[in-house]
Structure 1
Amino acid sequence: MAAAHTLQAQLTLAAFFCLLLPGAYLEEEADNCQNVFSADNYLNLTNSLKLFNNCSQQAMQRLEAGKLSELYKLLQNAADSLRSLRVREACQHVNPKNCSFPIIPANGGLVCLTLNRTRYCKPMCNKGYDFQFLRRSRPYERCGEETGFKWTTQYIGGNRLANCQESALAVAANASHYFDKRCLDVAQDYSEETLMISAFLTELKKELHGKINNKTVCFLCGDTSFPISNSRLSVS
């Protein structure tokens, strides 16, 4: 049993190092990373993380302060790398490239995609929050040639599309503009994220005509930052 836990811990740390070294192109390092994410090793990795997540705070307190700090850093860096990896291709350098990336509302998120060379973004708020202005007639904001490559917005200039403020009632927009819980809960559940994106695609298809470029679908939460170098992503 102890040997199994040791192996799981080694695989977990190895996977973290693979995530933390995206530029590790040496053959040996590449082979190590590939082996870590093989089917069996991936299962060991996820099981190890599940065991860690189920540990009580009392159990975690048995770790020395130095080890707690080291583990926290590894977990945080790995999470940041995974988030960056998921959004880099879909959220950066997409058409129309003259459009700046909109501010992601805190306590909410954005779903964006490209249709007919126009970028559409749908602001959403977390449960317990509502929009500052009524949005029932504004299911999305857009940016493209017809808007002078500037975002349509209820705010004066810039790329702020929405604000989510604490509220007991969610009445400013349609039901599809609110998360059942938090944006981050959806971001951590791929099936839920897929359903949410499909809902936005359906909404646009009902109102607009043209080919939607699914490769440019971008989903971001304002609950946390996405440290992507040289990006124009921002959080309010």
Structure 2
Amino acid sequence: MSDANKPPVTSATRPPAERRSDASEVDAFVRQARAMAKAGQAGGRLILALDATMSRQPTWDLACELQGQMFDAVGNTGRLNVQLVYFRGLGECRASKFVAETGSLKKLMTSIQCRSGQTQVGKVLSHALKETGAAKVDALVYIGDAMEENIDELAEKAGHLGLRGVPAFVFQEGHDAAAERAFKEIARLSKGAWFRFDRSAAATLSRLLSAVAVFAAGGIKALEARGRPEDRLMIEHLRSRKSP
């Protein structure tokens, strides 16, 4: 067929032109992809730190039970990723990976045997600072009963946690006066809160820990939305720590 006899090319018959993305469209795509990735990884990161020296053995089982309830408390608030940190013996201080389900963490906790040794709270605080430097940590929970370290050194690290937005929620077992002074200072400087870890009030303790978990997963707004008495108490503590 000669060119003169070929049918005219119309918009219906013309093949679509190959379209090139300009720089602004590429940037928009990258931003969208990053937002989707962030949404897919959404969820709070909480460090659960435990004194595993010998004096803590009687309440270790209670701590194992309560950490499971922390996961359950989050519900639809969001995904909660928890890392277990513990110290014991002669300078042993270890950290697990962040996990998003109860079973693996409970299995690890039940395999740990308490051993005699000195407190290593400073290592816990340093670890929390390192972790939040790599990826935001929303809260630190520490459960212990003694203090054998320099409070001024701990206070400096706690202050840095406060500046990084990582409140420490310190639960003290027993009534050791030196531990109480140190724990309250850590909580104050990190803009967290101090509570008594009382095995005779396990239900109250469980509710407080659940409030910490909800805060780590969704912030103060999540606590306000749930609106339980322990949530309101936690909100009061957190807001009282804010700088005027």
Q: TM-score range by the shorter chain?
A: under 0.3
- Higher radius of gyration, 1 or 2: 2
Q: Which has the higher helix share?
A: 2
Q: Which has the higher contact order (CA 8 A, sep 6+)?
A: 1
